[in-house]
Amino acid sequence: MKKLITFLKTRKKALIISIIYVGIGTLAVCSIGGSDLFYGEWSLYALILTFPVTIISFGYRFAETNYLIPVLIIQFVMFLITFLILSFLIKKKSTDDFDAQKVKK
């Protein structure tokens, strides 16, 4: 458990970005039906903005409009993938910056 907490603390920026990005996409996918609570024109713009993480759940929601649990499961998997990719990219960039500062001295 301590390893998980340490892992999340060292990648806090990637975690926050992933939560916001995938969260907006999830809310948009859950709001595209006419009878949905947050239905509106904004959901189209949010879907376009979050297209890479919502394409699969949008396809499922388009085919089956009544059930949201599978959409939430798909979005959770997308959150994990997004978090891991961002944590790798952000960690690699900060490591490169650290090495560049080390060389300057």
pLDDT of residue 103: 58
Beta-carbon contacts of 35 under 8 Å, excluding residues fewer than 6 positions away, are none
**Could you tell me what percentage of the chain is helix, strand and coil, using 3-state DSSP and rounding each to the nearest 5?**
80, 0, 20
Averages of pLDDT over runs of 10 residues in the chain (105 residues) are: 82 92 93 82 90 92 87 95 92 60 58
Q: What is the pLDDT of residue 82?
A: 95
